[in-house]
């Protein structure tokens, strides 16, 4: 994430576009950290491209304790199943080529 600080009192309840401190439209991004998995936030428009201005504002309220505990496990399981599915598809393709020569 671009920053490790946030202000809960500055949470957005409207759909009005947010501008970072550079005056550019702030994109909505999704946190992938274990403590805020899936929580959306506004960040600096230049994050990852240029020097960031440090703008940061949460879109979503904090997740409940149970959600913080369960969601990372669910994401890990989903990732594991997606990898397993990709492996199965590759094996199926290989078997089809062996059987049918296509």
* DSSP annotation string for the chain: ---S---GGG---S-PPPB-TTSSBPPEEE--SGGGTT-EEEE-TTTTTS-----EEESSPPPPHHHHHHHHHHHHHHHHHHHHHHHHHHHHHHHHHHHH--
Confidence class for position 48, pLDDT limits 50, 70, 90: confident
Confidence class for position 91, pLDDT limits 50, 70, 90: very high
* Total domains in the fold of the chain: 2
Domain holding 18, by residue range, is 1-62
Confidence class for position 5, pLDDT limits 50, 70, 90: very low
Residues 84 and 40 in one domain: no
Average pLDDT score over residue span 77-86: 97
- pLDDT value at residue 11: 42
Residues 8 and 56 in one domain: yes
Confidence class for position 102, pLDDT limits 50, 70, 90: low
Residues 58 and 68 in one domain: no
Residues 51 and 74 in one domain: no
Residues 54 and 75 in one domain: no
Residues 52 and 74 in one domain: no
Residues 11 and 38 in one domain: yes
């Amino acid at each position: 994430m671009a920053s490790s600080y946030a202000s809960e009192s500055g949470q957005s309840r409207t759909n009005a576009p947010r501008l970072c401190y550079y005056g550019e439209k702030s994109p909505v991004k999704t946190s992938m950290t274990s403590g805020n998995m899936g929580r959306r936030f506004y960040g600096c428009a230049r994050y990852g491209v240029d020097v960031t201005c440090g703008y940061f504002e949460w879109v979503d309220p904090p997740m409940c304790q149970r959600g913080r505990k369960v969601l990372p496990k669910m994401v890990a399981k989903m990732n594991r199943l997606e990898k397993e599915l990709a492996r199965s598809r590759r094996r199926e393709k290989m078997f089809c080529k062996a059987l049918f020569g296509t």
